[in-house]
Structure 1
């Protein structure tokens, strides 16, 4: 296996409707989370190519030298994933991963993908166990995304192996955790912070904390 082709859909400046952090620009936070996710993917040793699907020009400019960029068709998450997969080589291992994993570590992603390499298709549940953060396929054929609310049940019904169970069986639970903590709410962002945020997200939130401290002193 020569390495994974990894598709990441990133909304960027469109923001997240349920993620509201006081004194932090929603669009800027969404971009920071997306860029931190992409950076971890780029640093992963078993990833050969990162395909980013986005309509955000700022994100596209930031990654244009490192990633293949595909225009987001604007018709939903699964269509964005399909657009990215369409430019990958179906004969190579392929994966699709959410773009809202601000605590993702390259080594953790490597653990997940190494485990996935042993199976035809697999899916990684989110931290709650109901959604899905990543799906994979190692053999030729269509990789069909079913992301969205309660997506893990749909992926399992479609025949995807439960990657979390496989990794836990190998006693590498922590190795998958940062790849499972996607962020849609403030509570989930706090949980991601406990794992260690990427540099852009952390800097944005630290800047907000410093501003708040200065205001309280004033």
Structure 2
């Protein structure tokens, strides 16, 4: 069973390029977390956040204050240990379907370390490592290229997979079909 680490910024400062209200930012994170919790290969979901208002059934790893993505991932990895396969899943995948994450993790089980590039092919939404193997990551601009340079295997997923569909901008949000129920409800309330 996989341990997933999901770093989540506080909703009032998260997703600055999206320009969204905190309710929508929180809904995007919760839809991502809910999909991870519903994925059969996932045994544990660690949400690393300093957002005290984030209500989820996942295990919260509390940060005193937001310290950045790299620090949040390090905190999650320290909590996860090395006894199980681990993955870092970014918390901005509001259309994520459990069956798509299940397939990504099935493919990740065949390689020591792997990653999934985002829909543009330049960023990264998921990084994986088998039990006992260091999970190395290089999230940020041009992270897909940097993950290739770190010799992580690129996990090529079936067409239509929702794992690459992160949402950083209003245009990406508008282009994403099949949004999770919390995100869809927030958008509907904002439009009303």
- 1:93 pairs, out of 69, 85, 88, with 85
Pick aligned residue for 2:174 from 182, 187, 190: 190
* Larger helix proportion of the pair: 1
Contact 1:34 1:102 in 2 (8 A): yes
Is this contact kept in 1: 2:9–2:66, CA < 8 A? no
Deviations 1:61-88 (Å, cap 9, x if unpaired)?
x11xx22211235221121111101111
Task: Normalising by structure 1, report the TM-score.
Answer: 0.84
Say whether the 8 Å CA contact 1:15–1:29 is kept in structure 2. Answer: no
> Is the 1:6–1:51 contact (alpha carbons within 8 Å) kept by the matching residues of 2?
yes
- Measure the CA separation in 1 of the matches of 2:141 and 2:34: 26
Q: Secondary structure at the match of 1:95?
A: strand
Of structures 1 and 2, the larger Rg is shown by 1
Is the aligned partner of 1:58 residue 2:45?
no
- Give the CA RMSD over aligned residues: 1.2
- The corresponding residue for 2:186 is 204
Give 1:98 shift. 0.3
Q: Which runs of 5+ in 2 are unaligned?
A: none
Does structure 2 conserve the Cα–Cα contact (< 8 Å) formed by 1:12 and 1:34?
A: no
Q: How does 1:77-156 map to 2 (within 5 A)?
A: 77-156=69-148
**Matched residue SS, 2:95:** coil
Query: Once the 2 structures are TM-superposed, how far is the Cα of residue 150 of structure 1 from its aligned partner?
Result: 0.6
Task: Find the aligned partners of 2:62 and 2:144 in 1 and give their Cα distance.
Answer: 26
Among residues 155, 179, 184, which one is paired with 1:163 in the alignment? Answer: 155
CA distance in 1, matches of 2:72, 2:90: 11
Structure 1 spans left out of the alignment, 5+ residues: 212-218
Residue 38 of structure 2 is matched in structure 1 by 43
Which residue is equivalent to 2:62? 71
Aligned equivalent of 1:181, options 165, 178, 184: 165
Larger mean Cα displacement after TM superposition, 96-105 or 69-78:
69-78
Report the TM-score when normalising by structure 2: 0.94
Distance in structure 2 (CA, Å) of the matches to 1:123 and 1:154:
11
